[in-house]
Structure 1
Amino acid sequence: MDLAPEELQFLKLPDILREAVAIPKHCPNTFYLITLTVIFPLSFASLAQPLFTDSLLAHLQTYPQADPSQTSHESTLLLLFQFFYLCFLTAFSLVPTAAVVYTVASLYSSKPVSFSSTMSAIPKVFKRLFVTFVCVALLLIAYNFVLFTFFVIIATADSTSGRFLLFLSSAAVLLLFLLVDVYMSALWHLASVVSVLEPVHGFAAVKKSRELLKGKTRYAFTLVFLILAICFVIGVVFGLVVVHGGNNYGVFVRIVVGGFLVFVVVIVNLVGLLVQSVFYYVCKSYHHQGIDKNALHDHLGEYL
């Protein structure tokens, strides 16, 4: 990065985005290969999943209701596909995170950067990231369980006031879920960077990221919400045109639109990973926590 550590704490959102976008120019070949080998497959898999799911659903609907055993088998197959797809997508998402965070940190600490060194470091970095992800997932499961229990208690009310309370609580739960989901996403992304660049991972990295977010929570909310909103819009357009647009659009149009949307998702994912790396240094600088580049250089070397 071109900015000195003391300058990072004053970066606004446009500055963070501009700084993140400028990083690949320092080692374009490395980022090109990272994008091609790990970010592109992830982006394609995230968009292409409805194509496989819809084919299974269409196949399931062809069986008559009089054959419950076959229908049950197809339903189980669909659920298993969804489960393993989510597991694969989540696990594979840690690979580009490890690659980009490690490469950006190498540039920041003036460590020689190459695609081969980044790929060599991924196995050890992946283990730390996976432990941190499991900890965040456990927190989300506990939080969702509490919300679900509260919602069930309210839903069992039979009185008129209970129904009105159910409506209000449903709106409150939905809003709370969205807010906490965005916050937990920001917490997870920052904890991932902490897991790579500091000698902590798991719940310790989550605690560290929560401390770093203080004072920068509004920025984190805006960045995460912006990326999630863009991905949501792309997913909707992909579903309408590519997945369900067979009757309204030709094959050529669907291929062109699908390819363009995959390209956009690749760029969004790459920029998102670069932003979370820059945001870590911004938070560290904001809390006056200096980063010893020599120590960071040695820490990164331990992964090789």
Structure 2
Amino acid sequence: MDREQEDVQFLGFFGIFKESLKIIFSWKRIFTQITLSLILPLSFIFLAHIQVSHLLFIKILKNEYALYYTREGTKNYANLSDTLSAEWAAFWLFKVFYFTFLLVLSLLSTSAAVYTVACIYTAKEIAFRKVMSVVPRVWKRLIVTFLWSFALVLVYNFVSAALFYPWARYYGLNGGTGIAIFIALVILYLIGFIYISIVWHLASVISVLENSYGIKAMIKSRRLIKGKMGAAVAIFFTVAACFVGVELLFENFVVASSVSGRNMGISIPVGIVCLFLLCTVFLFGLVVQTVIYFVCKSYHHESIDKSSLADHLEVYLGEYVPLKARDVQLGEVHV
């Protein structure tokens, strides 16, 4: 990022996109190494999860259908029941392993991308080996922030369910009033969910670059995002749309082909294309959330001392030294 900090605050939707792409293409080698080592496995696991989950679930549905038309008390019924129990156990065990590996790789990828962009911002010499040495020490802070955001989402969903219950009990989808209330509730729910997601992503960057993490990072993120919420929401929707587009492409051409046995010749090429596109979306999303952090800091006139940031990005005595709040907020820049 070769822009002056005062200029960064004026970046909007297209400016943030352009700056993120410029960073990625200007430092292709380091980001390619990060992608191959962390983001590629992350993307592969995500797509493989869709494929395996679909195949397992189809098999479970077939056995449940067969069990429904099998007389109880027979040997065949007992065998089908045991098979279903084992398949459900395998299904949920697979889900647990998937979410565990997904969480670890996503946090490691976030650590690597944020650290790299911060080094670029400070014009600090950056090498892949240095990034990989810092990442394991940083991602633990991200776990705390993730757990707080996860707890917040659980509470939010619980409150939302409490609001949906009176609608389901007294209205439902019967009549215009019930449908109107349902649409309003869904819109309100999505607004809240998107807001929490944006705050969490920015809090992840804060957890890497500052001494705040967990609930403190979430609170600071909520304050920082003010004034740039419009651009952040637009970017969130754009990245989410690309993500969903890749997922739908994979499901319609790869997963559907494996189930029906048709168009198998194009499933492998399409799968490779989806893997490449998903890696691109993941990488861009991680870089852009770091750029948004610097934009928000500049917008609130909170100067970032590049030399102090560079010092705190060093690995000192084998320990990662996070950027302290006083180094990030050296005072307001009056313009």
Q: TM-score range by the shorter chain?
A: over 0.9
- Cα deviation for residue 76 of structure 1 reads 2.8
- Cα deviation for residue 251 of structure 1 reads 2.7
- Cα deviation for residue 166 of structure 1 reads 4.4
Structure 2 distance, partners of 1:253, 1:155, is 44
Structure 2 distance, partners of 1:145, 1:88, is 26
Structure 2 distance, partners of 1:271, 1:263, is 12
Give the aligned length.
303
Counterpart in the other structure of 1:172: 184
CA RMSD of aligned residues (A): 2.1
What letter matches 2:237 in structure 1?
A: F
147-156 vs 215-224, which deviates more? 147-156
Structure 2 segments unaligned to the other structure (5+ residues): 68-76, 322-335
Structure 2 distance, partners of 1:279, 1:295, is 20
Counterpart in the other structure of 2:164: 151
Report if the CA contact (8 A) 1:245-1:254 is conserved: yes
Report if the CA contact (8 A) 2:173-2:179 is conserved: no
Q: Does 1:263 align with 2:276?
A: yes
Counterpart in the other structure of 1:287: 300
Aligned pairs (5 A) from 1:201-220: 201-220=213-232
Query: Alpha-carbon deviations, 1:195-215, whole Å to 9, x = none?
Result: 111111001100111111100
Aligned pairs (5 A) from 1:115-126: 115-126=128-139
In the superposition, the TM-score normalised over structure 2's length comes to: 0.85
Query: Alpha-carbon deviations, 1:168-206, whole Å to 9, x = none?
Result: 332222212222222122111111111111111001100
In the superposition, the TM-score normalised over structure 1's length comes to: 0.93
Q: Does 1:299 align with 2:312?
A: yes
Structure 2 distance, partners of 1:103, 1:160, is 50
Q: 1:112 aligns with which of 116, 125, 134?
A: 125
Counterpart in the other structure of 1:32: 32
Structure 2 distance, partners of 1:94, 1:178, is 24
CA 1:44/1:160 → structure 2, altered by over 3 Å: closer, same or farther?
Answer: closer
Sequence identity (%)? 38
Counterpart in the other structure of 1:14: 14
Structure 1 distance, partners of 2:222, 2:23, is 26
- Cα deviation for residue 252 of structure 1 reads 2.8
Report if the CA contact (8 A) 2:13-2:232 is conserved: no
Q: Does 1:89 align with 2:105?
A: no
SS of the equivalent of 2:257 reads coil
Counterpart in the other structure of 2:253: 241
Report if the CA contact (8 A) 1:154-1:165 is conserved: no
- Cα deviation for residue 69 of structure 1 reads 2.9
Structure 1 distance, partners of 2:132, 2:58, is 40
Q: Indicate the structure whose relative CO is greater, using CA pairs within 8 Å and at least 6 residues apart.
A: 1
- Cα deviation for residue 163 of structure 1 reads 7.1
CA 1:169/1:73 → structure 2, altered by over 3 Å: closer, same or farther?
Answer: farther
Structure 1 distance, partners of 2:120, 2:206, is 17
CA 1:186/1:170 → structure 2, altered by over 3 Å: closer, same or farther?
Answer: same
Structure 1 distance, partners of 2:13, 2:173, is 45
Q: Does 1:78 align with 2:80?
A: no
CA 1:30/1:147 → structure 2, altered by over 3 Å: closer, same or farther?
Answer: same
SS of the equivalent of 2:313 reads helix
Report if the CA contact (8 A) 1:182-1:225 is conserved: no
Counterpart in the other structure of 1:274: 287
CA 1:161/1:176 → structure 2, altered by over 3 Å: closer, same or farther?
Answer: closer
What letter matches 2:216 in structure 1?
A: A
- Cα deviation for residue 47 of structure 1 reads 1.9
68-77 vs 111-120, which deviates more? 68-77
Query: Alpha-carbon deviations, 1:214-250, whole Å to 9, x = none?
Result: 0001111111111111111211121011001244753
Report if the CA contact (8 A) 1:34-1:99 is conserved: yes
- Cα deviation for residue 124 of structure 1 reads 1.6
- Cα deviation for residue 132 of structure 1 reads 0.5
What letter matches 2:211 in structure 1?
A: P
From the CA coordinates, give the structure whose radius of gyration is larger.
Answer: 2
Counterpart in the other structure of 2:45: 45
Structure 2 distance, partners of 1:161, 1:181, is 23
